[in-house]
């Protein structure tokens, strides 16, 4: 049944309740508690990258660059206060590690999110966002969720994460034997019996590809695991503090106001700070594992460099790949029981690995401003504008804007809390709340 409560108009509807919108919920509570927000989350529980919560894996950002600290280190929602409230602060400090376990950071994120449970609807994937006239005659949004119900809001923030990139030839397959990393853990748990002595391919040359290769080797020690990567070798991630100036607020301004040609050049220069590169600790683990297997004469894990997948077919028994050696052209036919794609996510743009806008904005596309490359135009304050230049109700894209704001916006925690502050303060200016103002004046 399609149902709209005509008497309920939210100041803000947030699409997704992962780290970005959790950080925004905190910012609104601390900066603009008068704003009535509702968040719709597709998953049935709050979790951060649940399919990649692998044993022993750690995060890749300084833990103090959390949901709130760069904006407000005195907040109760900091990572350090989470540890303190869990009674683990001294134990954590005693670990002497640079990066926390991903499991623990997931616990931190869900702990913060749990404080806003009354503002969140889980198992509620948003399926449509459209302009509408609100009951008071102003213009706003009608947001439709998977159940068919619709909800009204004065503003919308899209922070539902980027679309997984599935490259050719895998994009032509409809098979549960080919999965993007966003479906990894549930897939290998479901297929555990079949994979114990099978063959598994991991496609990609990223941090995730190495983490997945290591995890598969541990889960299925009798299986053969092959990492297929088109590069000559796995690249070491650029973690120089000079390169990481790219995750400072000043760089966002520098990048945003640069020409498109300059943006392209900067993207190339900074690529290995985040993409197609791997941290030294996991590289050493993989290399040592392969070396030890060679010593034992029982090689099960392989890295196949300079390898391009030209063709793929799938059936109930597995996946057949045609793999080409990139420089000499030799073709090999390979059969795998499972193929895992560590191939990243789509950014906004015209390229084959990109998309012009979030799919949720497809119905609004003709009414929204786009840049010269045909991608949705996002302002410095993360606002989307109308195609004809007229004002539209506030519509924000949050943690999705690498193509306009630089590599710190690549789903990174680095500036998450500062972006939340920009959006929260913008909402505070654009959404008047007469009821709150009257109460505040009476006090």
Is omega for the bond preceding 169 within 30 degrees of 0, making it cis?
yes
The answer to whether residues 333 and 355 belong to one domain is no
How far apart, in whole angstroms, are the C-alpha atoms of residue 300 and residue 295?
Answer: 12
The answer to whether residues 138 and 208 belong to one domain is no
Which domain covers residue 64, as residue numbers?
A: 4-163+347-442
The answer to whether residues 175 and 144 belong to one domain is no
Q: Which two tokens stand for residue 423?
A: 């959006």
The answer to whether residues 199 and 158 belong to one domain is no
How far apart, in whole angstroms, are the C-alpha atoms of residue 344 and residue 423?
Answer: 26
Which of 318, 341, 364 is the endpoint of a domain?
341
Q: What is the pLDDT of residue 441?
A: 37
Which of 341, 363, 390 is the endpoint of a domain?
341
Average pLDDT for the chain: 93
What is the average pLDDT across 183-199? 96
In the DSSP assignment, the letter for residue 433 is -
Q: Say yes or no to pLDDT of 270 above 80.
A: yes
Taking only the tens place, the pLDDT of each residue in 376-407 is: 999 999 999 999 888 899 999 999 999 999 99
| Residue 270 in domain | no
Q: What is the pLDDT of residue 115?
A: 98
Q: Say yes or no to pLDDT of 281 above 90.
A: yes
What is the average pLDDT across 4-18? 85
Taking only the tens place, the pLDDT of each residue in 69-104 is: 999 999 999 999 999 999 999 999 999 999 999 999
Q: Which two tokens stand for residue 37?
A: 């927000």
Share of the chain above pLDDT 70, in %: 96
Under 8 Å CB-to-CB from 395, ≥6 apart: which residues? 141, 155, 156, 158, 383, 384
Q: Which two tokens stand for residue 202?
A: 């991991």
Q: Please give the helix or strand (H or E) that residue 138 lies within, else none.
A: none
Taking only the tens place, the pLDDT of each residue in 311-340 is: 999 999 999 999 999 999 999 999 999 999
Sign (positive or negative) of CA dihedral 78, 80, 83, 85: negative
Q: What is the pLDDT of residue 3?
A: 53
What is the average pLDDT across 278-288? 96
> Which pTM was predicted?
0.94
């Amino acid at each position: 049944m399609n149902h709209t409560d005509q008497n309920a108009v939210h100041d803000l509807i947030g699409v997704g309740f992962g780290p970005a919108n959790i950080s925004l919920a905190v910012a609104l509570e601390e900066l603009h508690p008068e704003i009535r927000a509702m968040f719709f989350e597709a998953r049935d529980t709050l979790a951060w990258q649940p399919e990649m919560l692998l044993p022993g894996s750690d995060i890749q950002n300084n833990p103090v660059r959390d949901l709130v600290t760069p904006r407000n280190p005195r907040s109760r929602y900091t990572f350090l206060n989470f540890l303190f409230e869990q009674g683990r602060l001294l134990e954590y400090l005693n670990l002497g590690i640079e990066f926390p376990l991903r499991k623990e950071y997931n616990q931190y994120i869900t702990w913060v999110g749990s404080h806003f449970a009354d503002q969140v609807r889980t198992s509620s994937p948003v399926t449509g966002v459209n302009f509408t006239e609100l009951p008071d005659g102003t213009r706003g949004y009608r947001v439709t969720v998977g159940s068919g119900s619709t909800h009204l809001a004065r503003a919308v923030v899209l922070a539902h994460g980027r679309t997984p990139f599935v490259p050719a030839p895998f994009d032509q397959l409809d098979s549960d034997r080919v999965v993007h990393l966003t479906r990894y853990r549930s897939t290998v748990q479901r297929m555990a019996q079949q994979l114990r002595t099978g063959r598994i391919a991991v496609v990609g040359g990223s941090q995730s590809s190495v983490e997945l290769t290591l995890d598969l080797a541990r889960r299925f020690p009798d299986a053969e695991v092959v990492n297929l990567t088109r590069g000559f070798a796995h690249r070491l991630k650029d973690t120089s503090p000079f390169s990481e100036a790219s995750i400072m607020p000043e760089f966002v301004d520098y990048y945003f106001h640069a020409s498109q040609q300059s943006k392209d050049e900067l993207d190339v220069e900074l690529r290995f700070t985040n993409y197609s590169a791997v941290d030294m600790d996991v590289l050493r683990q993989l290399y040592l594992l392969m070396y030890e297997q060679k010593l034992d004469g029982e090689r099960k894990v392989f890295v196949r460099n300079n390898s391009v997948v030209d063709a793929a077919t799938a059936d109930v028994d597995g996946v057949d790949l045609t793999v080409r050696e990139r420089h000499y052209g030799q073709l090999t036919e390979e059969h795998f029981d499972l193929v895992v794609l560590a191939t990243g996510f789509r950014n906004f743009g015209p390229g084959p690995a990109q998309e012009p806008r979030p799919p949720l904005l497809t119905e609004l596309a003709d009414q929204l401003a786009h840049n010269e490359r045909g991608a949705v135009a996002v302002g410095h304050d993360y606002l989307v504008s109308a195609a004809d230049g007229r004002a539209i109700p506030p519509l924000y894209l949050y943690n999705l804007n690498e193509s306009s704001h630089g590599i710190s916006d690549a789903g990174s925690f680095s500036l998450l809390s500062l972006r939340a502050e920009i959006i929260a303060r913008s909402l505070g200016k654009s959404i008047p709340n007469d009821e709150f103002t009257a109460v505040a004046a009476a006090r």
